[in-house]
């Protein structure tokens, strides 16, 4: 279930109440008159089956609520209620497969900011990976993968491509375009310093490091793993399953590959640096490609359900048009004939 906290102006509140009460997937509708002081209006609380959340929010947006009030979305971890079970049965699909698109958009937007924290995490992750490469310690490589924050902008780029959001794409690509080179440059500096003070060996040969040699030796299996992991990562993002996301982070060698470019460059081993760069490119391509495909399939399913929802008679009870949306020119093919039949 998903909890909605809505702030609506007094003249709009009745339409919101009618919309929520008309849906079988909505329960626990509470109306607090005049409870909001900034902005002034009524507060309306309700719980919605996760499968129907984006559809209901879409209708609320058509009522112009974002401009005149607010909609807050919170996930409900557990609810003990027969009414909740009935609401979930009324919504087609399974809660675990449902995507709350507003939640996905908000989460990915937050993860694309080119902040000092993001850059520090990128640099720190590559520093850990560089030590793991020198010592041939897989556990340090795994640690670097977990610390790396790069999946956020990668997922945001996928969302931006599917939803054609140029600004989100620009911010996510900017974060990656600055984060990876900065981390690699910092790795070159620290590796050079470590060599100078004797903490790293004067010479380094990847062939003598069997546990981490794969980082600079990409193949088609590298792309396969990245592709599958990208799909799993996007699914974990859309279903809010953070445990699966951790698995994704430790399966794709983006951070170690970028770090290995710096290590190899510091040693003047341009062949291994090129191999690591190829590994990085393959992994990034695989993640984005599979992420876009996964999101596209999920989005098409939502669009199909949204078009069907536009024909729902409950929309007319709140003054919303049948067969089309107020927010754009999209119409259900043959909607006039469908409306007459209904």
- In DSSP notation, 162-180 reads HHT-HHHHHHHHHHHHHHH
Lowest mean pLDDT across 99-108, 232-241, 328-337: 328-337
Mean pLDDT of all residues in 204-211: 80
**110: which 2 tokens?**
């937050």
Mean pLDDT of all residues in 149-176: 90
Residue range 22-79, pLDDT digits in tens? 889 999 999 999 999 999 999 999 999 988 899 999 989 988 899 999 999 998 888 8
**115: which 2 tokens?**
């902040």
Question: Does residue 326 or residue 156 have the better pLDDT?
Answer: 156
Q: Which of 209, 185, 225 is nearest to 134 (CA)?
A: 209
Q: What is the pLDDT of residue 338?
A: 43
Statement: residue 227 has pLDDT above 80: yes
Lowest mean pLDDT across 224-233, 250-259, 315-324: 315-324
Contact predicate 161/169, CB 8 Å: yes
**Range with top average pLDDT, 50-54, 129-133, 139-143:** 129-133
- 3-state SS assignment for residue 42: strand
Phi then psi for residue 86, to 5 deg, are -65, -40
Domain ranges of the chain: 2-98, 105-301
Residue count of the chain: 342
Helix ranges restricted to H, the chain: 13-22, 53-62, 65-68, 82-90, 101-110, 116-135, 138-147, 151-163, 166-197, 220-238, 242-249, 254-266, 270-309, 335-341
Q: What is the pLDDT of residue 321?
A: 79
- Does the domain made of 2-98 have the CATH classification 3.90.550? no
Mean pLDDT of all residues in 195-207: 88
Question: Does residue 245 or residue 150 have the better pLDDT?
Answer: 150
Q: What is the pLDDT of residue 328?
A: 59
**C-alpha angle with apex 273: 291 to 153, nearest 5 degrees?**
25
Contact predicate 36/7, CB 8 Å: yes
Q: What is the pLDDT of residue 303?
A: 86
pTM above 0.85, yes or no: no
Q: What is the pLDDT of residue 248?
A: 59
Phi then psi for residue 246, to 5 deg, are -60, -40
Distance (Å, rounded) from C-alpha 19 to C-alpha 306?
16
Q: pLDDT exceeding 90 applies to what percent of the chain?
A: 46
- 3-state SS assignment for residue 74: strand
Where do we find the tokens 């984006």? Answer: 54
The count of other CB atoms within 10 Å of the CB of residue 216 is 26
**218: which 2 tokens?**
């990409």
Q: What is the pLDDT of residue 212?
A: 83
Residue 11 binned pLDDT confidence (cut-offs 50, 70, 90): very high
What is the phi-psi region of residue 219: left when phi exceeds 0, alpha when psi lies from -120 to 50, beta otherwise?
A: beta
Statement: residue 341 has pLDDT above 50: no
Q: Which of 72, 46, 71, 49 is nearest to 1 (CA)?
A: 49
* CA dist 41 → 6, 29, 89, 137 (Å): 10, 16, 33, 59
What is the gyration radius of the CA atoms in the chain, in angstroms? 25
Residue 292 binned pLDDT confidence (cut-offs 50, 70, 90): very high
What is the phi-psi region of residue 36: left when phi exceeds 0, alpha when psi lies from -120 to 50, beta otherwise?
A: beta
Distance (Å, rounded) from C-alpha 51 to C-alpha 142?
35
């Amino acid at each position: 279930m998903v909890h909605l906290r809505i702030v609506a102006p007094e003249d709009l509140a009745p339409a919101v109440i009618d919309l929520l009460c008309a849906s079988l997937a909505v329960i626990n509708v509470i109306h607090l008159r005049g409870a909001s002081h900034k902005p002034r209006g009524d507060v309306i609380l309700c719980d919605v089956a996760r499968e129907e959340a984006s559809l209901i929010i879409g209708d609320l947006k058509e009522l112009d609520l974002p401009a005149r009030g607010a909609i807050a979305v919170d996930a409900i971890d557990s609810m003990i209620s027969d009414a909740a079970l009935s609401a979930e049965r009324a919504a087609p699909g399974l809660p675990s497969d449902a995507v709350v698109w507003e939640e996905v958009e908000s989460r990915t937007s937050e993860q694309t900011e080119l902040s000092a924290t993001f850059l520090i995490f990128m640099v720190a992750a590559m520093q850990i990976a560089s030590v793991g490469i020198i010592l041939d310690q897989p556990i340090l490589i795994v640690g670097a993968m977990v610390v790396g924050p790069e999946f956020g902008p990668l997922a945001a780029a996928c969302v931006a491509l599917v939803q054609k959001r140029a600004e989100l794409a620009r911010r996510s690509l900017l974060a990656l375009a600055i984060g990876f080179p900065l981390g690699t440059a910092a790795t070159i500096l620290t590796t050079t310093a470590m060599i100078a003070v004797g903490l790293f060996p004067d010479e380094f040969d990847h062939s003598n490091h069997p546990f981490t040699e794969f980082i600079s030796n990409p193949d088609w299996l590298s792309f396969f793993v990245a592709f599958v992991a990208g799909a799993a990562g996007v699914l974990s993002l859309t279903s809010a399953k953070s445990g699966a996301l951790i698995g994704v982070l430790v399966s794709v060698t983006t951070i170690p590959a970028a770090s290995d470019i710096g290590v190899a460059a510091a040693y003047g081993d341009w062949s291994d640096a090129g191999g690591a760069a190829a590994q990085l490119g393959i992994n990034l391509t695989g993640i984005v490609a599979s992420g876009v495909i996964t999101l596209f399939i999920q989005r098409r399913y939502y669009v199909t359900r949204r078009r069907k929802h536009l024909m729902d008679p409950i929309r007319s009870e709140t003054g919303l048009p049948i067969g089309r949306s107020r927010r754009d020119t999209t119409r259900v093919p043959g909607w006039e004939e469908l409306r007459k039949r209904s």
